[in-house]
Structure formats: C-alpha cells, structure tokens
A and B are shown apart, each in its own frame.
Chain A
Amino acid sequence: GAGVSQSPRYKVAKRGQDVALRCDPISGHVSLFWYQQALGQGPEFLTYFQNEAQLDKSGLPSDRFFAERPEGSVSTLKIQRTQQEDSAVYLCASSSGIGPYEQYFGPGTRLTVT
C-alpha cells in the first residue's frame, strides 16, 4: 500500500522566503510527527499531532515554525522568513496508534536556504 509521502522532495529557498512542506500520512494513522535532520545528525523531534490536535510542539526551534493538521490527515509544516540554519531534511512520520507503535517515515524534504 501507499506509504507516507512528502512534497516537495527538494526545496531551495532564498533567505527570508516562506516555505510550506507537505506530509501525506498513511491513511487512517492517528499520530503524525515532524522531525528535522541536520547533516550528520540524527532526526530531532519538532512536533506531534494526534488526529487534528497538536499535542506537543516543544521541538519547534522558533516561532517562525508552524505546523497544522486541520482535518486529521494531511499536515503542513510552514517556515517563515527562512534562515540558513533552517537548511536540513524535514521528515514526517505517522503511526497507527498512541504510544510505542512503529513510526513509518516519509522520504523527507531537503530544504536548502541560500
């Protein structure tokens, strides 16, 4: 079946531009996660949704980062006024339940801010 998909796969933005990254989770998955992976590092948690409710946004690095999942399925991560330090791979993952369920990852969006 279809896995988690993300778009775009690659995004180049000039510093100061706004970007929007999309995640389509596996159909029916309750939980959705966003992670940021800098070069040479492991993924770092950004935010977590349970259906449409954003239960944890403790990992968002600044108020320039905003995520939403209005209907409990597709999610968008928006970054306003991008900075060079925002350059990273942004990973989306979904899982079928709440708690220690397997998280299924998308291919990621590689964001490069110039």
Chain B
Amino acid sequence: AQRVTQPEKLLSVFKGAPVELKCNYSYSGSPELFWYVQYSRQRLQLLLRHISRESIKGFTADLNKGETSFHLKKPFAQEEDSAMYYCAPLYYNTDKLIFGTGTRLQVFP
C-alpha cells in the first residue's frame, strides 16, 4: 500500500530558527511529490511541488529517492509560517494525492 509518514505531529520553534518537516513515502513507481499547507481558517493550498524545483515563501524540499524522503526546510522560520503542513505524493497511475497525517508548525515570537 502507498503510505506517507510525517513523524512529527507538532513542531515548535522560535522565530528565526531553522525548520525541517520530515516526510517519508512508500515506493510504488515514481510519485510526484507535493507539500500542501493549511493556514488557520483557510483552505488547503499548494505550497510547493518537486517538479517545479522552486522555493516558495523561503521553503524548499529535496527529493531523496534512496531514502524515499521529501523533507521540507526553511532556514529562518517566521511567525506567519505557523500552519498545518501535509506531504502528499501523487502516483501517476492514479492521479490521487496520498496525504500524510500532517505536521503542525508553531513559530513563537
């Protein structure tokens, strides 16, 4: 079965500290990898995707096929980064996203 593991339910840091949200996925073909974010009282939205190789709001994510990981990183966290983050691979043969259980990031001033 296709699985996504986000080991941390909650990650708390102070403003300006580096952040790494972990994501490991089960291997089944070559999934495309996404990170979605949900800010308080807002809908789920795309943060970044591997295929674009871009940095969004200072976040980057590196795909490590050997470790089947797609960890999300930001060197200096900001208070506005506080949100729920979901890692979600998409398997080409299904078009569906498989979401992890999410990591709540809290950034304190």
Q: Contact residues of A with B, CB < 8 Å?
A: 3, 31, 33, 35, 40-45, 48, 55-56, 59, 91, 93, 98-100, 102-108
Q: Are B96 and A48 in contact (CB under 8 A)?
A: yes
Bound-complex Cα distance A41 to B104 (A): 11
Q: Which 8 A-B pairs have the closest CB atoms?
A: A42-B99, A100-B32, A105-B44, A45-B96, A102-B46, A43-B99, A105-B43, A42-B101
The reply to whether B45 and A45 form a contact with Cβ atoms under 8 Å apart is no
Of all chain B residues, which has the CB nearest A47?
A: B96
B interface residue count range (under 10 / 10 to 19 / 20 to 34 / 35 or more): 20 to 34
Nearest to A102 among chain B residues (CB) is: B46
Rounded to whole angstroms, the CA-CA distance of A3 and B96 in the bound complex is: 20
Contacts of B4 in A (CB 8 A): 42
Q: How many residue pairs bridge A and B at CB < 8 Å? A: 53
CB of B80 within 8 Å of the partner chain: no
Give 17 new A-B contacts, CB below 8 A, not counting A45-B97, A45-B98, A104-B45: A3-B43, A33-B96, A35-B99, A40-B101, A42-B86, A42-B88, A42-B99, A42-B101, A43-B86, A44-B99, A48-B95, A93-B44, A98-B95, A103-B46, A106-B43, A107-B43, A108-B43
